[in-house]
Structures are given as structure tokens and as C-alpha cells.
Amino acid sequence: MRPPDHHHRRAHGLFRLGSRWRGRRARGGPEAPQGRRRLRQDRGQRRLDAHVRPEPRVVHRRRARGHDRRGAPPRHAHRPAESVQNCLDAGVDMIIHCIFNEADGTYRFRPDLVERLVAAKAWVNPTLYVMKAGIDRLREAREREGRLTPDLVAQLEQSQRALDVRVDAVRQMTEAGVRMTAGSDSPWGWYAPGEFVHEIHMLARAGLSYADAIVAGTSGAAESIGVGALAGRLLPGRPADVLVVRGDPTGDIAALWDVLDVYQAGRRIERGLSDS
């Protein structure tokens, strides 16, 4: 086991190197530092899973440490909905996942927490595509292997229903005025690097206009981690990070896949692709 202060020391080292933000879990998720643990086999590797529910004052103390180091630390709120409440009680700036499940796993939309999200002007990063990628690609892989069993089909259908509920929750939160940002929860599992467009598309599926979904993945993403004054928009004096595509993605989101050029800090990136 790692010592209790391991993650704090690692985070402090990253801040000394110039890191501007970090994320912590308000409850649950893999590799949480305390709580009920279980080892499980996960794609051939042993992984430590844990479920933890810090007191709001603990979340607040960790948040204060992050702000002292110029970070606006987001929190991963998996479940239950109490984790979202803990984040709001502690004044967290951005909540990742923001799932309104109860302790017994049942789902109940929480208008009271949504009102608090709006009042706090907190950002929500719902990470919708990581779930869809798992559903679609696991089904495709098992079909190719001839191992798509009735039990697995039932599990995938249950996961799809859970995803539909989350998409509807994002729609309701957006209609209520909650600020959405697009984020991948980091590419892992079935979610391959380079597929961030899917995340933007999922926000559009949840009711955002194509233009608003694109903003959620650019300027909204920058503002949600406290660097909105430095990145996220094309303005004089800022780094010219530009994605050039054919077509108009505000009319057809699929145009984001048809990339002509990429510029980083004003310099064209040679991607090793032919023009054909």
C-alpha cells in the first residue's frame, strides 16, 4: 500500500513543475485512497477498486490546497448523489460525471442539486462517450469473436438504458442552465485517444446545439479548469491552436472528423498524411 500522503506529495511535485490543476474523487472510482476495497480482474490486470465518501470538510480542505497552488481542482462524483452534494457544500468549481444515483444504485433526478449547480455556476463534465464506447466496442468485439452471449446482450442493453438516462439528465441540466464542458475522463478502456469529437457529439445528442457543444469542448473546457484567460478562444495575443476542417460543423457535427490542417501555437503540424 502507498503511504497516506503519497498522492499529495506527487501532486505537489507536479505543481512545482507548472501543472495548473488536478482532479480528486468525491466518492468512488478506481484507486480511491480509503474505504471498502476489492480486487478484481480488469482486462488482464489486477486493479484496486474502492468506494469512499469523504466528509464535506475533507473535500473543502483538499479544494483549498488546490486553489492555493493556482489550481481549480475538479472532483469526480460517481455515486451516490450525495457526492455531488458534498462537492457543492465544499464549493468545488467543476464536477466530473455528476451522476444522480442513490446509494442502492437506483436513479433519481435531483432538481434540488441542479438548482445548486446553477446558483454556484459550477461546471459539469458528464463524460458520456466513455460509456457509449464501452457498449459499442464490446459488442463489436464479441460479435467478431462469436462470443456475444444472451447474458452479455442483456448486460449491454442494461448499460444502454443507463446511458440513455444519463443523456436525459444532461439535457435536463442544460435546460435548467447548468454549464457543460466536454471532457473524456481521460482516454482509457474502449475509449481510444483522438476520439474527442465523439464527446462533443454526445453533448449535442443530449440537447446542446452543435455550436454550443463545440464551445463546451473549447472555451468551456478552458474556463472550467481556470485557464479561460489563456486558451480556448482565438484572440489576439493568445496561442493560435487551430483545427481546420472541411464544411461547417455548426451545421453538421461530423465535419469535425474531416480535418484539413492542425496548427499549434501558429505553426502547422505535419501529420504525415497525404492530401488524398
What pLDDT score was predicted for residue 56?
46
What pLDDT score was predicted for residue 103?
86
154 inside domain: no
User: Which amino acid does the sequence have at 133?
Assistant: A
pTM: 0.75
197 inside domain: yes
What pLDDT score was predicted for residue 76?
67
Q: Which residues pair with 79 in a beta bridge?
A: none
How do 267-268 and 259-264 pair as beta strands? antiparallel
Query: What does the DSSP 8-state code read for residue 75?
Result: E
User: Which amino acid does the sequence have at 212?
Assistant: D
Grid cell in block for residue 152: 452479455
Grid cell in block for residue 259: 480535418
Positive or negative torsion for Cα 67, 264, 232, 254: negative
What pLDDT score was predicted for residue 193?
84
158 inside domain: no
Q: Which pLDDT tens digits describe the chain residue by residue (276 residues)?
A: 556 566 556 666 655 555 554 455 455 444 444 333 332 333 333 222 323 344 444 444 444 444 543 444 576 676 678 899 999 999 998 999 999 999 888 999 999 999 999 999 999 999 999 999 999 999 999 999 999 999 999 999 999 999 999 999 999 999 999 999 998 876 667 888 889 999 999 999 999 999 999 999 999 999 999 999 999 999 999 999 999 999 999 999 999 999 999 999 999 999 876 554
155 inside domain: no
29 inside domain: yes
At 55, which CATH number?
A: 3.20.20.140
Per the structure, the count of domains in the chain is 1
Tell how many helices (H) and how many strands (E) occur in the chain. Answer: 9, 10
Contact at 8 Å (CB) between 218 and 203? no
- Please give the residue range of the domain that contains residue 226: 6-129+163-237
Show the 3-state SS of 198-240.
HHHHHHHHCCCCHHHHHHHHCHHHHHHCCCCCCCCCCCCCCCC
Positive or negative torsion for Cα 265, 271, 275, 276: negative
Residues 64 and 58: their CA atoms lie apart, in Å, by 10
What pLDDT score was predicted for residue 192?
84
213 inside domain: yes
50 inside domain: yes
